[in-house]
Amino acid sequence: MHCLAESKKVIIVGIPGVGKTTIVSKIVEMLKAKKIGVSVSIFGTIMFEEAQKNGIKNRDELRKLAVPEQKKLQSMAARRIASINDDVVIVDTHAFISTKEGFYPGLPHNVLEILMPDIFVMITARPEEIYNRRMKDTTRDRDIVSIDAIKKELDVTSAMLSTCSILCGSPIKMVLNSEGKVDEAAKAIVNGMGYNNGG
């Protein structure tokens, strides 16, 4: 049992194009309406802030770093997040990073040990919807992928998260973000955190 003084750590993952950023914003809005102190830590941003100290210029360079370098930055970012004291600390991250060596876990054991998450949330969507959303997103330097590659990314995310759940003994909530259903998806996640949406 967690004592009330402890933060509830919620890890939210989703591959690019599932609408994670939009849903996280909606969750924050819902929690604040219930007078629950909440903060969002974007894991990649915190890693990037640490990497900038070592001369990395943009976020897309991060995933091209060697695995030992990534590991070091992940631990530094996890320690910063673990020190946050809000009622709910949402960690917005990816279950894996595509590297030259293959799929590298976004939440390796060293990071999980530092963060001690209470619940994992995987936001998903239909591969065709993800593909269309990615094609419209011009804000990031994204690799062009096929629908088959997107299905593979969803499978890898699910497998990685299942392993995290076993290591931490924390549940996974999978939420489908269908087009135009952001509120429903956010409500399902808030309920999964134990803050039932009365009415």
Q: What's the mean pLDDT when you consider all of the chain?
A: 90
Tokens standing for residue 32: 């604040």
* Interatomic CA distance for residues 116 and 9, integer angstroms: 7
For the chain, domain boundaries? 8-192
179-194 pLDDT, tens digit each: 889 999 999 999 999 9
| Structural element, H or E, at residue 20 | helix 20-33
pLDDT computed for residue 142 by the predictor: 60
- SS3 assignment, position 174: strand
DSSP state of 166: H
Q: pTM for this one?
A: 0.88
151-185 pLDDT, tens digit each: 999 999 999 999 999 999 999 999 999 988 999 99
Q: Which strands, in side-by-side order, build the sheet including 172-176?
A: 38-42, 88-93, 8-13, 119-124, 172-176
Q: Which amino acid is at 105?
A: P
Check pLDDT > 70 for residue 44. Answer: yes
Q: What is the mean pLDDT of residues 115-132?
A: 96
Q: Which class would CATH give 8-192?
A: alpha beta
| Structural element, H or E, at residue 102 | strand 102-105
Ranges of H-type helices in 34-181: 43-52, 59-62, 67-82, 109-115, 127-136, 147-168
Question: Which residues make beta-bridge pairs with 174?
Answer: 122
pLDDT computed for residue 120 by the predictor: 97
**Higher per-residue pLDDT: 46 or 61:** 46
pLDDT computed for residue 4 by the predictor: 44
* Interatomic CA distance for residues 43 and 54, integer angstroms: 17
Check pLDDT > 50 for residue 2. Answer: no
- SS3 assignment, position 183: helix
* Interatomic CA distance for residues 132 and 83, integer angstroms: 38
pLDDT computed for residue 35 by the predictor: 95
